[in-house]
A = this chain, B = another copy of it.
């Protein structure tokens, strides 16, 4: 793999890596419904707000979400909504895998 290609795949992998955590995936799904503040997301996920804040900063670094401060809350929203279109394909992988598991019984 040449350096150029490597850099390109690293950039793409960073996006997928950011999505590769259950809480972050849940957050993205939630933001697909509309903007949410950190507080709300922390309650929905059921984790410490500092933990959610760090997850959001990972999503933001990956370019997946934007934030906007209003009052003393910070609202996050999806930067690129097409992300959500992929989830049905991911789900088909999960389902095919589950089916393969059943087949082997």
Binding site for B on A (CB under 8 A): 1, 5-6, 9-26, 29, 44-46, 62-64, 79-80, 82-83, 85-87, 89-94, 96-97, 100
B96 and A11 contacting across the interface, CB-CB below 8 Å: no
Copies of this chain held together in the complex: 2
Q: A11-B94, A16-B19, A89-B83 are in contact. Are A100 and B63 (CB under 8 A)?
A: yes
Closest to A79 in B: B96
Contact partner, A89, options B62, B85, B93, B94, Cβ 8 Å: B85
**What residues of B have a CB within 8 angstroms of the CB of A96 in the complex?**
63, 79-80
Q: Nearest-CB distance from A49 to chain B (Å)?
A: 15
Can you list 17 A-B pairs with a CB-CB distance of less than 8 A? A5-B26, A10-B22, A11-B94, A11-B97, A12-B91, A15-B90, A16-B16, A16-B17, A16-B20, A17-B17, A18-B20, A20-B20, A63-B97, A80-B92, A82-B89, A83-B89, A86-B86
